[in-house]
Structure formats: structure tokens, C-alpha cells
Structure 1
Amino acid sequence: MSISSRTRRFVSDSSILSHLQTLIFISQRSNHTLAGNGKKSHLHHEAGFDPAALASSVDMRTWKAVNSRCFRIYNHMISRSSWTVLKILKHNGYDAYLVGGCVRDLILKRIPKDFDIITTADLKQIKKQFHRCHIVGRRFPICRVHIQGSVIEVSSFGTVARHDEGKQTVNFSQMPIGCNQKNFILWKNSLCRDFTINSLFYDPFVDTIYDYTNGIDDLISSKVRTVIPAKISFEEDCARILRGLRIAARLGLSFSKESELAIQDHLSSVKNLNQTRLMMEMNYMFSYGAAEPSLCLLRRFKLLDIILPFHAAYLVQESPDQSAQSSLMLMKLFSCMDKLLACDRPSGCFLWVALLSFHLALVNNPQKAIVIWAFSSALYHGNWRKAVNFARERAQLHVRFVPEISDVCGTMTDEELAQDVICLASQVRSSIGALTDADKMESLVRNYSSKLELAEDVICLGSQVRSSIGALTDADKTESVVENYPSASPDLGGASNLVFISKAVGQNVGELFRVLEQNLETYANERKSFEIDYGLLAMGNIKETRFMLGKVIMDAMSSGVFPKQQEVVIQEQQGVATENHHAPFSSSENQRRDVKRRTILPKIKNLEQQHDESEKEINGSTRVSILGKRKVVAGKRNGEFSELANFETRIEPENKDHPAELANLGEDVQEQQEVANEKINGSERVLELRKRASKLRKSKVVAKKIKDEVEELPNLFREVEQVNMGNIAELAKVEGHLKQGECQGSESNPEQKKVVERKSNCDQSNSNLKEQEVAGKEKSRKPLSNLFL
């Protein structure tokens, strides 16, 4: 959901906890408090949780209504679209509140990921208030309202989750004495929430925050505590375990002792989550700027062994002590990604899935540093030539990541570098299959663990070095070693049945690297701007994700440089402009301004001064430089002339000493000239003959056509004779009629006139036929040899 740009004005307050304590103490004594101070109500019972029985024993003195202005929360901090939905519901007679994590983040002066709304209207009534609204969700249905280019989730107080159906619930007849209907509805809904810090309600129309579960106190003490007993809460919905880890990682909170013990007891229940739900929770962990602390908490509570078993085995091997794991390449990759993301600037799931696949490929197939530089630079720049130049510059730096980067770098040609990058891209794409296929992941983890165990055997058992080498190179011996050492196969925690990344996501991630498997030398898909488009990134745009992936890998490689060379890298990270357009690590606007003010602006002024001075020097020395160039050219020419004179003087005595040889040389030259002239004349004759031959070929074609026409002449003559015979007979008839007409003396007769006209026409046609006959005979008598001249 969209976040208002006005929420960007938030600034972190280091004294927020002490400020909150003071405000709570004041609010409990103010008129906004529903009741005075008192002992906390024992809402939870270890034996079970009965909401109906709870209504009679609730202590309303712990309920709080705090003025939001005490926390410096104002309406302009709410996103525009959420504020519009709240006003529409309020205008139509329904109560509407902000609820959940957005209220918590507003109190902590953090930018909310989204703004969730709850109202007294039911789902059908909500749908009638908005033109574009539809109900989604089976387990807990809500309304998704499309308004002002954003999507706002609106839930109803009357909605009951499916896991609560059939259970005994609190009704108005069991409402505690002295409690009004409004507070009873809010309190009842707060019991359905997961954690106390997420059960706060904020009414922006009266500037009041309602707290019924001591959520504000838990914020002050930086604790994550479940609303109902943790054991029962995690049994109802095991996804709350992952959600609690995400909240603790993002806000830097710790778990209450009860919640921590319950998480350890219900780890295996995470395997019961379906693929879609697990993928959603993991994406919330890794895509909003808290991937590294989330990974640390997953490892601490041993959930990483279930969700990402290969990377869990990698962390155990490379960093048994969790306090030293921040220097590992996997943690550096996620840390660099976190620096570029935030709650209002998230990424799609393709980015972190690609990072996991990339790291998995490097662990199984370590690469040279220059190959990784070229690989990441090609993704970032979109141009192979720039990637090669960038990689060769950075290859001089010594990066310390083991086992991802091999020790020996050496020199490589451009062709070898391109081949290694293509091979790495293919290995990364094949690694994606291990994240989407349970069997591949299980075999991969077992093989990796077997290699580690075998390596330990080689170190510890020096007397069996040769047999250990054989086990490393022979598959059958490797299997026997694994059977002899069952501990080599780690507890996968049911990983063989748990795969949460779908194959569709894996295919899309594979498209990120497909461009590097083609002809790299012609790869050119440069960007117009090197600024991150977070809108496209959140939608999972392939091109934007590819660019972001290259930047994260380059930043992680830069962070692994040895301390002696760290100063150069830090200067580049602070905003020093380079030809490769590699942006600085931090995306904070304040840091960018400071970097620009301290580093870039002074350098720009120095460059401008140097430019002005150089222009003056150039203008003053233009004539001198021209004369100097002319002097150099004249010197070269004088040197050439002197060499030519020396050559002539050296040749003359030799010519005088050998007159006979010179004469013979002249005769040979003359003979060769005559032979060349004959060849030239012969070639001209050949060309002439070729032209005549082409004319003959053309004349033969013409002759063939004429011959065909001549062969058709007899038929034409016969047709002409037949026509003539017909005309002669007709002429005789006409003459007979004319004679008869003369005898009768009727010249004025119309029939006679027609006969006369007919006779004249016949005479004309007869003469034409005779001319044609004569022309045809003359044409037939004409010799064919004349056509070829």
C-alpha cells in the first residue's frame, strides 16, 4: 500500500523510550484515562484461555485511552488514501479506527509499511461505500478498497477468524460492569490480535489511542509479548512465530521469556504452513529492509534449519560463533540489500531469491574475484565492455570471502573471463532448482555436509591421508564414509517436505541471469538512469531487479576488501563520481546531502578553477604550440631530405663501378615490359572475344524467335489465302448484284448503296492482305546471317 510522502518527515528520536514512560505516567492521571491505576489483570491462564470467563474477571483499570498528541502523532502523518477511507466510513455513520502495526510504528516514529483500518460496518456494508472494493480471504475475510491509486485493507469488528468458529466468545450480556459498548467491542477485538504491540487502536477523529492489553508498556520495555498465552497463541496460528521474528528484527525488540520458550516448543509446527503463507511471511522478512537481522533470528531459534537448510549448514560451518557471522558473504549480501530497502521502498521476492541462489552457487563452485566483479557489473551496467573494464580495475583489490572466492586469481583474457561468467550464470540458474525442489535441496545439503565431514577427517586423521583423498575423489567411497559417520548428515528438520519458493518464482528469477548465458560480447542493454525505480522494483520488474541485484553484489564485494584498501572503497561509497556510475551505499537523503557538501562540491570548485586556469594557459600559448608543431614538422622533413641525399651519394659510385650490370638490368626490364604489354594485349583480345560471344548468344536467341515466326508463316499464308478466296467469292456476288442493279437502272436504291459500300470494304481488305503476304515473303527470303552482324 502507498505511504504518504508526508510520513517521510519522521526523524528518529534517541530518547523515545524515556519520553514514552513520562507520557504514560501523565496519561494515566489525565482525564483521558478510563480508570485509575491498578494491578494488571490476570487475563491469561496457563491451563487454557476462556474469553467468556475472562469478561467477569477483567480489570478495566489497566485500560488506557491516551491522547495521540502526547506521542506527536498528527493526522497529516496518515496516508491520503487511508484518511479518505476513514472519512467516508465516518460520514456514513460507522466508527473507523487505524489498528495494528501502523499505530505501533507511528508511536515509535517509524514509517508504517501500510495502514490497516477496522470499522463497525460489516463487509457487505463496506463494499457498498466504495466503487472499487472486493472481499478477499478465506481464513479471515477482509475488504480491499482501491482508491486514489492505492489499496487499503479494511476489516470488520464482526468478522471472526475460521479458527475461532465454534468457540465460546464474549457477548454483550457478559460485558463487565461500568464498561460501555464501544470499549467492549475494542477490547473484545484486541483479544484476537497476535501481539500486544499490534493490538492498539487509533481514532484520528478524536486524537485518541486505545490500549487494552498493555501494548504501550511493552513498547517502552522493547518486548514482544502475545496477547493470549504464547503456547495457545502459536497453536492457533503457527505463522505468528514468523511474524514475531519479523517484528523483533525490524524494530530491534526482544521476546518475553514466555514467548521465547513457546517458540522453541513449536518450531516443528512451521512445517505445517502451506507454501503460499510461508512465502508471504518470508517475503515480509526479506523485502522491507530487515533481511540481515531476520536471518540472524531465524538461525538463533533454529528455524533456518527448517526453512533454508543449506544456508543454515553454511553458517554453522563458517561461523560457529553467531557473534562473528556478520563478516560472512551471505550476511554482507543481505546487509547491503537492507541499506537500499525500507518499508516504503520494498522489493519483490525475486531479489532475495536471486541472492540466495547466487550465494548457493558460489559455495558449491567458488569463483575468482574478477569473475564475480564482471558478473555483477554486467548486471548493473547492462554493457559487457564496461563490465570488463570495471572488473579489471577492481580485480586489483583483495576481497576476503571464504569459501565463495578462490585464493588464486591470476590473469585472464577477455574470452576466458566471458566464458567463466557464462558458466557462473548457468550455475546460478541450476541452483534455483535446489530452492524450488525438495529432493534437490535434500541431496545438496547431504553432499555439502559430507564434504565438510570428509575435510575434518583429513585434518584429524593424518595417518589416513591417502584414503581420505580417495574418499574425496571416489563417489562410492564417499557414500561409505557417510554411512560410517551418521552425524555427517545433519538434521534437516523436515526440509525434504518443506519448499516454499514456487517453481513459477524460480523461472522468473532464472530470467535475471539468462542474458549472461548468451553472447556476452554483444550484450548491451544500458540504462538511461542509475537511480533505483522502487515502483518497478516492488512489482518485480525483471530489468530493475537485475540492476538492483548487480548493485547489491558489488556493494557486498566492496565491503569485503582488506583493511589497507578499505579507505579507497569508502571514498567511492561516499559519493565520489566514477565512470561506472556506481552509486554510494546509503540511500538516505541526509547522507547524500552531507556527502555532496563535504566531498563533491569542493571537488567541483577545484575542477572549475583548474579549468579556468588551463583555458588561460591555452589561450596564451596557442601561437607558441602552433610554431612548435611547425618546427617539429620542418625538422622531420629536413631529416628526410638529408637521408635522401646521403642515399643518392652512396648509390652513384656503385652505379659507376658496374655499368655492364646496369645495361643488362635495363635489357631485362625492357623484356619484362614487352611481356607485360603482350599479356595486356592478350587480355584485351580476350575481353573483345567475350563481348562478341555475348552478342552471339543474344543473336542466337533472336534468331530462334525469328525462326519460330518463319515456321508460322505457311500457316499464316494458308489463312490469308482462305480469306482471299472468301473475299473473291463475295466480290463476284457483289459484282453480280451491281450489274443487275445497272440493268434495272435504280442507282438510287438503298440496297444498291449498301452493296457499293460493301464492295469498297472488300477491295480495301484484299489490298491489305496482299501487302501482308508480300511483306511475309520478303521477310522469309531475308538471310538469317544478317541478324548476327
Structure 2
Amino acid sequence: MKVLYRLKNEGYDAYLVGGCVRDLLLGREPKDFDVATNASPEQVKRAFRNCRLIGRRFRLAHVFYGQEIIEVATFRASSDEEQGLQKVDQDGRLLRDNNYGTIEEDVVRRDFTVNALYYNIKDFSIVDYVGGMDDHRAGMMRLIGDPETRYREDPVRMIRLVRFAVKLGFSINAECEKPIFQLADLLANIPAARLQDEALKLFLSGYAVETFEMLRHYGLFAHLYPAAETSLCSEEQGFPKLFIAKALVNTDKRIAEGKSIAPFFLISTFLWDAVKNQANINLAEGMSESIAFQQASSQVISQQLKSTAFPKYIGMAMRDIWGLQARFSNRSGTRAYRLLGHPKFRAAYDFLLLRAETGGAEPELASWWADFQIASEVQQKKMIASISKTSPKKRRRRRKPTVKNQQHD
């Protein structure tokens, strides 16, 4: 409200716009608030000392209030390729978009009708140019303008459509739904880093299960996690689909309970089957088990980074989770203690539990580790001793006696 009223007092028009208006109308608490104005970014910056300008494709003003950021965007101009105001590639994707205009032009540049509602502080009204209120009441997701053209301008809109439809519980307009099946391949033109950001929003918003199913329905999931899609298409006895589905259910449950989510854990479940398959190929080529899994992890991650470019620390955590799975079976001597002290033990143990619940590991093994973690030191020693007694003993190879040459005088 401070931003809105200061801009108003400076003589500019200022509106709340987008998701915050949409969510307030649904009775939800918005995660953030966006402001649209006819003031240029430089004029906004002059009005606020606590302001910083960001962005190249489209300049934005961020106004800071402690940890809170209010994003202020200048009205964007309407499409006008003939005048050379916009640059697009051969697929119609928008490359540069830094042209300012009026609110009437700004509204038609937004993606969905329910995201194009403006709250006017001058008279406390909702300004609606595109039938967004009707779609809001009907629970309908609809693109502004021709769907195919809008998808070609920015293919990520197909992913955003799924995310909002699931999050809001809205249906998708048939005309907006139809082109997705033919245009999903355009996601290959999107930078992998941007797709990673979108993927996190998709699966870490509390609606991962429904999002996963809808993405697969439209053929979009294959462009985010191609190795996982290949595994899903060749699943046996419900695996790995059951494994991934359970991971998604657990993710939604943790979010509902207010618990933290580690992105690397969910991604590691998506790619686990691909890692195992590649490791088996490496084993067949004569590699040791540890080397086979190390090489498989590197190969799968390298391929995945072409689709969603996650940070290095996520890849390292995934390697640890996968690499520790084989070590859970080696519990004799001091191995169990060393594994228990590993920084990624808890994540790897949760991964083992998930495998055991979906038929990918022995339940007895998961149960043993559950007991071992809470056992006293004396009990732990007994558990390890019991394992050592039941484990098959390796036969020691007898060394052949060496024959020494004796010299006689």
C-alpha cells in the first residue's frame, strides 16, 4: 500500500495486478504482491530510495522493505512486430521486450485472463479488460489472445498453465489445451536454467502428484526429465512409476506439514531408474560396482543438465544418495558406524525407505537401519555382531609356499 500510494501521490497510476489479485479474490493469502504503473523504471527509482532496477529483457523495479520485495513493472506496449518493437526467433519466441505503453496495451500482453485483473486504489475497484472475472468465477484457465501464438512467444506458458490449473483447481479452456500436444517440443528452445526454476515451482508447491499426472498427459514431463519419462514408458510391475508417485505423495505431505523440502531428493527419485540401468550396462562392461554407479551417476546427470540445469551442489547430493544405497547392505565391522556418520545418511536412508515401500529394496534391510539408529551403543554392537555371524564368510586364499633356491658349496 505504501508503494501504491506514493506512486499515486507522485502523480502516477498504480495498480495491484496479477496473482495477488487473483488469490485475494479466492480468499487466499498471496505469496507476493506486484504493482503495475505508468511510471518508467527510472521514475520509480527516483520515488523510492529503497529501490533497485533489475532485468534486461524487461526492466523492473524492486522496492525493498526489509526482507519483503514489492515488484513494480511499467505498463508494457502491445505487440507490434511490423514497427520492429519486438524481436522474435524463427519459432515465434519473444527475445526482447522492453517497450512501455498504457494499461490497455499492458493487459493484452499478460498470459492468462485470471492473471490480468488490476486493483485500482483510486476507487477500490477491479479493472478487467479481458473477461478475467468471468473466468475467475467459472474456475477457467484461459490464455489472452491466440493460444498457439502465445505459446510460441514463450513456450514456458504451457508449463505455467498446468501449474496454475492444478494450484487453483481450475479447468483448462479447450482452445488453450489443444495446441499443447503439438507444441511441447518448443520447450527444447528454453534455457535449461529457466526450466529448472519452473520445475521447482511445479513440484514444490504442494500439488506435485496432480502436476506430475497433468504434465505427462500433455507430453510436457518428457521435456523436463527425459530419462525419467523413458523409464516410465518401460516400467515393470509398476516400478518406477510407483516409486516416483510415492516420492511425490511424500513431498506434498511434507509441504502440508510445513516441513522443509530438499529439491535434490525428488530429482534423485526421478532419475534413479536411469542410474540403475546405466550402472548395469557399466557392470556388463567389467566395471566394479562402485565405479559402475559413479560412472552411471555422472552420465545421467550430464544428460539431465541439458534439460534442467540445477546447481552443482544438487548433483553432488544426488550422487551421494545413489552411491550410499549399496552400502546399506554392508553392515559388518565398522561399516555401519561410518555410514551412520555420513553427512547425507538421513537423505539416503529416506531414499532406502522409499525403495523398500515400493518393492525396490528389502523391507528387512530398512527395518534394521531404523532400529540401528535408535539403539544404544551396546545394542548396536550386538546387531552388528549378529550380522557378522549370519554373513557368509569369505574363504581366505592359501598362499602357495615359495621355493627358495639353495646354493651348495
TM-score normalised to the size of structure 2?
0.67
User: 2:139, 2:170 within 8 Å by CA — same for their partners in 1?
Assistant: yes
Q: Any residues of structure 2 matched to 1:630-641 within 5 Å, and which?
A: none
Q: Among 314, 317, 320, which residue is 1:509 paired with?
A: 317
Aligned twin of 2:137: 220
1:586 paired residue number: none
Amino acid at match of 1:220: R
Q: Deviations over 1:705-749 (max 9, x none)?
A: xxxxxxxxxxxxxxxxxxxxxxxxxxxxxxxxxxxxxxxxxxxxx
Structure-1 residue corresponding to 2:243: 329
**Candidates 299, 308, 317, aligned match of 2:234:** 317
Encode CA deviations 1:238-271: one digit per residue, 9 max, x unaligned: 1111111221222233321111111122122111
> How far apart in 2 are the matches of 1:272 and 1:218?
31
CA-to-aligned-CA distance 1:291-347 (integer Å, 9 cap, x gap): 222221221112233332222122223389xxx999711111012112222699875
Query: Would you say the 8 A contact 1:249–1:290 is kept in 2?
Result: yes
SS in 2 for 1:155: strand
Change (3 A) 1:219 1:559: farther
Partner of 2:201: 284
SS for the counterpart of 2:36 is strand
**In structure 1, the residue corresponding to 2:15 is in which secondary structure?**
strand
Compute the displacement of 1:201 (Å): 1.3
Q: Cα offset for 1:194?
A: 0.8
Counterpart in the other structure of 2:270 = 356
Instruction: State the AA in 2 paired with 1:336.
Output: N
Distance of 2:36 and 2:291 partners within structure 1: 47
Q: 1:521 aligns with which of 325, 334, 337?
A: 337
Asked whether the 8 Å contact 2:78–2:105 carries over to 1, the reply is no
Between the aligned partners of 2:22 and 2:292, the Cα distance in structure 1 is 45
Query: Any idea what the Cα deviations from partners look like across 1:331-382, whole Å, max 9, x if unmatched?
Result: 110121122226998756434333324454456679xxxxxxxxxxxxxxxx
Contact 1:289/1:346 (CA < 8 Å) preserved in 2?
A: no
Give the distance between the partners of 1:237 and 1:196, measured in 2 at CA.
Answer: 16
Query: Quick one: distance in 1 between partners of 2:243 and 2:61?
Result: 42
Give the alignment partner of residue 126 of structure 2, picking from 209, 234, 243.
Answer: 209
Structure number with larger C-alpha Rg: 1
Output one character per residue of 1:752-778: Cα deviation in whole Å (capped at 9) or x when no partner: xxxxxxxxxxxxxxxxxxxxxxxxxxx
Give yes or no for contact 1:353–1:509 (8 Å, CA) kept in 2.
no
Amino acid at match of 2:213: C
Alpha-carbon distance in structure 2 between the residues aligned to 1:333 and 1:99:
35
Cα distance in 1 between the residues matched to 2:236 and 2:107: 42
Going from structure 1 to structure 2, the CA distance change for 1:277 and 1:203 (only over 3 Å counts) comes to same
**Structure 1 residues 520 and 295: alpha-carbon distance in aligned structure 2, compared to 1, 3 A threshold:** same
**Offset, 1:225:** 1.1
Aligned residue number for residue 785 of structure 1: none
Q: Equivalent pairs: percent with the same residue? A: 27
Contact 2:77/2:102 (<8 A) preserved: no
- 8 A contact 2:14–2:38 mirrored in 1: yes
> Number of matched residues?
335
Q: How does 1:645-724 map to 2 (within 5 A)?
A: none
More helix by share: 1
3-state SS, counterpart of residue 143 of structure 2: coil
1:195 aligned partner: 112
1:138 positional shift? 2.0
CA change 1:326–1:426 in 2 (3 A) is: closer
Could you tell me how far apart the structure 2 residues matched to 1:548 and 1:118 are?
45
SS of 1:97's equivalent? strand
Does the aligned pair in 2 maintain the 1:113–1:344 contact within 8 Å? no
Distance in 2, Cα, partners of 1:515 & 1:305: 25
Identify the match of residue 307 of structure 2 among 488, 492, 499: 499
The one-letter amino acid paired with 2:52 is H
TM-score (ref. length: structure 1): 0.37
- Which of 229, 248, 252 is the matching residue for 1:338? 252
Alignment of 1:256-655 (within 5 A): 256-318=173-235, 328-341=242-255, 347=261, 349-358=263-272, 360-361=274-275, 427=293, 430-438=295-303, 498-502=306-310, 504=312, 506-510=314-318, 513=321, 516=324, 521-522=337-338, 549=347, 553=351, 556=354, 560=358
What is the CA RMSD across the aligned residues, in angstroms?
4.2
CA shift in 2, pair 1:550/1:524, >3 Å: closer
For residues 161-188 of structure 1, the C-alpha deviation after alignment (integer angstroms, 9 at most, x for no partner) is 99897259xxxxxxxxxxxxxxx94332
Structure in which a larger fraction of residues adopt strand: 2
Identify unmatched segments of 5+ residues in structure 1: 1-82, 169-183, 367-422, 442-496, 527-542, 570-577, 582-789
- Corresponding residue of 2:23: 105
CA contact (8 A) 2:199 2:224 kept: no
8 Å CA contact 1:437–1:499 kept in 2: the answer is no
Q: What is the rounded CA distance, in whole Å, between the counterparts of 2:345 and 2:27 in structure 1?
A: 31
CA 1:305–1:354: 2 relative to 1, 3 Å = closer
Q: Secondary structure at the match of 1:93?
A: coil
Give 1:556 shift: 4.4
Asked if 1 retains the 8 angstrom alpha-carbon contact of 2:279 and 2:296, the reply is: no
Counterpart of 2:35?
117
1:632-662: per-residue Cα shift (whole Å, max 9, x none)?
Answer: xxxxxxxxxxxxxxxxxxxxxxxxxxxxxxx
